[in-house]
Structure 1
């Protein structure tokens, strides 16, 4: 049980947080921690304040502490995953956000869609960073290859008589033609990479977003799990396409499709926020 004196500081911290007075709220949560250092909610509440202030290292520290006190706390995994994403520690971020998603599903946490979006964003940012590195390497290669052509031209030019304008023009034409062809090859390569298509089977039939947790209904139709649960809550327990009865406990994970989508996103991270 939380200590009453510590709870008073937590409640005041909550009030200050609602007023967007994050630094003052941090002071109250810190006092609550001093009075009761074993209550994980104080750490997650303070981590959320630190998140609002962009103090990522403090978010990570408090979230890890909360998890050490209670490894079922969804909020701590969620905040930790978000902070690690911003720190570009993508592998661990994805791990923590996946844990947050699974625990949120088990505990029926209301903000599960926010967790899913954070998970997809982490995938997207990981791919974006890798893509930026790839493009820079490609640009370096292009500059290097063009440099070789220009250097060869300059060497050949040294062996041409000063007054041999015809030969000079010939070498210049040859150089420019090769540079143009090299540029075209690189541009075509870039165009091929930019042809972005997502297989229809990877898209949820309700939200039309790429799926993270695909499940079968009894009629054999695959949906994103959370989209289907949202549909049940809004419209009733039936398959959106066949209109036949369907309940949550009848859903079966489509593991092969999930694996295929994960492999696809590793090579096509742009699709994460499709």
Structure 2
């Protein structure tokens, strides 16, 4: 009951923020409009997640992340949105993974039962069972195991490939940028390094000005494709 009330309040707040964003646009206060839209989609996403509407919640959080990155890629809001988006994606994957696992196990049990039934039927039609018949039945069961093990592989977390991970954060890239030296970093991490440690590439030690960092779109697309197929990677490190 309390969760439902909180969810409704968050949804109403999201609508108010959208209206604020529209008003800011009319006044050509575009920066303020983007901030309002970012927070609006963020609040809406949280409200949907509280209702366990994960698919729509993820979409709202993704839009919030897109708005946030456009306005301030290194802002605290972007990090906060990413954390919530990651949790939502992982929770959605857990539910779907559990359902797929149950379906696979049920199907496997049905297949094993069918093979055993066929084996019993074959034995009833002959006076004795040969070693060859037994071996054939065993091979069929082993082949069935291999098929279902292969089908379950996508839901088994493994190590994320190194090229998709930042050398500073040791996590999968979110907003990758490439330095003039050819090294790719997480944007927020390399900017923090430049601001707190010094204007040099932490790997090559060459001078590095933040204005020289450019988005690594190829890696960003590779990460998106990887996460689409391996959603568990939203939660695991590299």
TM-score range, shorter chain: 0.7 to 0.9
Which one of the candidate residues 218, 221, 224 is aligned to 1:256?
218
Counterpart of 2:115 in structure 1 is 149
CA displacement at 1:251 relative to structure 2: 1.9
CA displacement at 1:235 relative to structure 2: 2.0
1:150–1:175 CA contact under 8 A, matched in 2: no
CA displacement at 1:202 relative to structure 2: 0.4
Matches within 5 A, 1:1-274: 55-70=6-21, 71-72=33-34, 73=36, 74-105=38-69, 106-107=71-72, 109-156=75-122, 159=125, 167=128, 177=138, 180-182=141-143, 184-186=145-147, 188-189=149-150, 192-193=153-154, 194=156, 196-274=158-236
Highest RCO, 1 vs 2 (Cα 8 Å, sep ≥ 6): 2
Unaligned 5+ segments in structure 2 are: 22-32
Distance change in 2, residues 1:191/1:135 (3 Å):
closer
1:60–1:83 CA contact under 8 A, matched in 2: yes
CA displacement at 1:259 relative to structure 2: 0.9
Q: Partners of 1:191 and 1:222 in 2: how far apart?
A: 33
CA displacement at 1:110 relative to structure 2: 2.7
Equivalenced residue count is 219
Q: Partners of 1:102 and 1:240 in 2: how far apart?
A: 28
Unaligned 5+ segments in structure 1 are: 1-49
Q: Partners of 1:273 and 1:96 in 2: how far apart?
A: 19
Which range moves more in the overlay, 264-273 or 86-95? 86-95
Distance change in 2, residues 1:266/1:232 (3 Å):
same
Q: Partners of 2:215 and 2:166 in 1: how far apart?
A: 14
TM-score, length-normalised on structure 2? 0.74
CA displacement at 1:207 relative to structure 2: 0.4
1:149–1:178 CA contact under 8 A, matched in 2: no
Q: Deviations over 1:216-242 (max 9, x none)?
A: 122221111121222233323332223
Distance change in 2, residues 1:86/1:170 (3 Å):
farther
Q: Deviations over 1:234-260 (max 9, x none)?
A: 323332223333343322111121111
